[in-house]
Structure 1
Amino acid sequence: MENYGAINRVVSGLKVLDEKELVNFQIDGIVPKTVVEVESEEEIATLLKSANENEISVIPWGGGTMIDLGNIPKRVDIVVSLRKLNRIIEYSPEDLVVTSESGVTLDSLQQLLSKKGQFLALDPPFSQAATLGGIISSNSFGPMRYLYGGVRDLLLGIKVAGTNGALMKFGGKVVKNVAGYDVKKLFIGSLGTLGIITQTTFRLYAIPEFEESFIAMFNSLDDAFNAIQKILRRIHSSIGIGLSAIEMLDPNFSELLNHSEFIRGYVLVARVLGIT
């Protein structure tokens, strides 16, 4: 039996979206019974505590870019939209650290940071919609991981709402923090199963003074690997130049991605950056 009475009690006092919008928040084809839009971490904590007491399932929704990762949920009672949690809490350019709410999108953050010549060195797909909380929960990143590392290397701290209604902080606001276990890393890739991330703190980098990308094509896999080894040796011996991304596509994949007759075979894509 559908427990709509309990669901209504849990979401009482929150902004509930119109039923017509429910289909936009379906997960693996399952349409949620209710979608609420929260505006504070306190609302999230209260919601989770009440849902836990009433045995109601809750699934967080940031930008929805990676929402289908993981197992198919047994049921979707309440989806919590975090798009209103989009405020920058603290930005310290001199310390290369930024703290924000988890609903901030990556592109909007990058736009702010670029004004100070800085950026968050993550490049997951769909960055215009991907939220910081969602990036952490799905452990999402892109080719820049080669130089800068992934989420676990850039994340300094988080704040999480637990199912008991508590708001918990893990990590800090400095790059080196030796205060106990590094619990924040448990939430990386946890897909919202351990709690809902409400705040994030990341370390930043200065935007490189120059950046160039290039594409090379090879007839054989051996030729491609030999070229990669030469590139790596040359980059490692250079001063002021770094390889920020490198990817190799096999002939089938490169053909799938583009329809150009000029790009074929084993395709090497690389990006270098540095300081002039």
Structure 2
Amino acid sequence: MNKHSISRRALVKSSVFGILAVSIPSITYAKSIYDFNNTNNAKDNLSNRYPAIDDAIVNEVVGKSHFDLDRVKELVDKRPELSRATWDWGFGDWESAIGAASHVGRRDIIAYLLSKGAKANIFTFATLGAYDTVKSMIEFYPGIQENYGPHGISLLQHATVGLRMKDKMTADQITNSEKLISYLEQLGNADGATFEELTEGKEKYLGDYKYGEGDNEGFSVKQNMRDMLTFGSLGNFGGALYKVKDHEFRYNKFPSVFISFQVENEQVISVTVKEPDLTLVAKKV
């Protein structure tokens, strides 16, 4: 075999690979252009905060985590990141999906969310009756038992609601929950601050209040299933109002949000919302 035949074979071989080297990227590139043109049609459906997940989906995950395991699974199975979803219900009332399941005692939803990557905290552990865990956290950081969970719900309340699914709990789980409740009660400060009880005259506060001409520029004061006054966006239920003194309340026990009602001749005429950087007056309509 002479050197000319070797060179010819080498030339043919290199030419074949050269064609492949050019062709394969070209085919791939052409396909990517095709895919781009087709998949980009979805851009019209993107939320205004994209690439952040659509607010409506986040709101639904947190909301459904209070009671609807099947729907939570539908949403989270295809996007496990939603197991860590968090929503602000108003004035900084941040609630996570697992926080929602925790304060209503839904152990089944808690277990599912944890399996998908949710972040448990002391309130979740209290709901689960994790006596040793909660006790060690309090001993490590004394005073943490006084902190509130979502909606101003106390640590003791989380532990108590942990027995909601008692018929599906083991004997050891029940024992640990009861042991934790007893421990928190003995601490004396795990149920939060005490507020005045509003037993009469709630009706005068109920109704809608407007601070502007827009359809959504206002608040509604309603009465919830626990017979408490709530303060929310116009037409909606919201956080609970805790009485501080006559006609003055704290929103969900928050230290920086005050709701006060102005009264004339026993009739409520307006409400004032005071936040650190805002004072807003809305007239009753």
Answer whether TM exceeds 0.5 for this pair: no
Greater gyration radius:
2
Return the structure number with greater helix share.
2
Q: Which has the higher contact order (CA 8 A, sep 6+)?
A: 1
Return the structure number with greater strand share.
1
Calculate the TM-score normalised by the size of structure 2. Answer: 0.23
Calculate the TM-score normalised by the size of structure 1. Answer: 0.23
